[in-house]
Amino acid sequence: MTRVLSVASECVPLVKTGGLADVVGALPHALVGAGVDMRVLIPGYPAVMDALKRAKAVKTFADHFGGPARVLRGKLGEAVLYVLDAPHLYDRPGGIYGDAEGRDWPDNPERFAALSSVAALIGAEGIEGWSPQILHCHDWQAGLAPLYLRALGAGDRVASLMTIHNIAFQGMTPPDRIASLGLPPEGFTQDGYEFWDQVSALKAGLSYADRISTVSPTYAGELMTPEFGMGLDGLLRARQADLTGILNGIDLDLWTPPYKSPRGKAKYRAALREEFGLPDWPGPLCVMVTRMTEQKGLDVLLQALPALLDRGGQLVLLGTGARAFEEAFRAYARDHAGVAVTIGYDEQLARRMIAGGDAILVPSRFEPCGLTQLYGLRYGTIPLVARTGGLADTVIDASPAGVAAGAATGVQFHPVTAQALAQALMKLVKLHQEPDTWSRMMRNAMAAKVGWDQSAAAYAALYEEMVKTE
């Protein structure tokens, strides 16, 4: 059985800000049947510490990045969970990355270097008699672990995998922190962890890990282009032989529609309209659950919405993010009877929206994998998506060929412009007006393989390739 330590900054059901947490929480369970013993290491934020039951201290540090710390052992379902309990780093109000005003914690470099350092120590020394063969490092918060592992002299026997969930976040900090982070100064070069005269935790991971993965095959290709690579495309092109794209899945037990067939959606659609006070219009009821940022295409959606509303369609949006977008959509909803907006995040409301919606909109400029379109497929809520990253890999477009073959599961559009999105929305309305075609698309969507089975098998195969001789 391959032994893997998964290292991340968040993990469902304990702490979550985005899709990273879903993946980290789901992988250990998905891999059990694939011959992988995966344990998880995360920071001891207040919510995590509150959830720990009968945790046992298995490693202690008198001074770890400025204060005492312990590694506690807990449970993540049936999997082993390790929590880095370092109150001086993690026991604080606000969010896990920043304060209540949204400002990053100024010591974030040390907070996540501490996590990466403990991961490397476990790799080098083992813990409780258990030694990982692979460190699986997620995003910049775990990016220094492969470098620390090599500095400890364990890189020749313990392999490391760096997974990019979103390359837009790179963990940058000035070089005057090199000593406080315990980094080897000789690594501050173009071939090491230096990036535009800064320390980049993500670049460290990409430079020093044995292998690199990301969360969809299309995004893996996109990352090697200047448009999507965020300045790291050259490094990724140089390492393309070590780069793999593996799609995310979703937990099918957690995301199960309350109906067995497309016909069952009608009552949930009616309930959703009633909940938001929307009239019973003839067009598709579209939903969107999103972070309200430019990445997610909110600006082009505002411009394209008349193409939906003028044809009897509606939109229910749930999200939070940039204040300008929040205010713009609130104002739009006040002026248009077919639009309802809730600012914030409520997972139960999200589930009701996906169950009751006819279609789910994901017009992202870039999307490494995306989970909301997978939820949409599972619920027969037709995804309308930009043709990028994991959206392109998971949704079969209702092109003439796709419809004729009876294979379509959604609508794709490109480029991400107001005109292209408006045309896609008009196409969506037209498909909705063809009951047989729409019903077939819903059945196809609900039959799509969106669970973890295939992805878990791909990860297990990758881990097996990576194991070094002990």
Known binding residues for ADP-alpha-D-glucose are 16
Cα 43 from chain centroid? Answer: 18
- Spatial separation of the C-alpha atoms in residues 417 and 194, rounded to whole Å: 35
Q: Which residues contact 77 (CB under 8 A, 6 or more apart)?
A: 28, 29
Between CA 209 and CA 147 the distance in angstroms is: 8
Give the Cα-Cα-Cα angle 133, 138, 144 (nearest 5 degrees): 80
Residue 24 near residue 13, CB atoms below 8 Å: no
Q: Tell me the binding residues.
A: 16
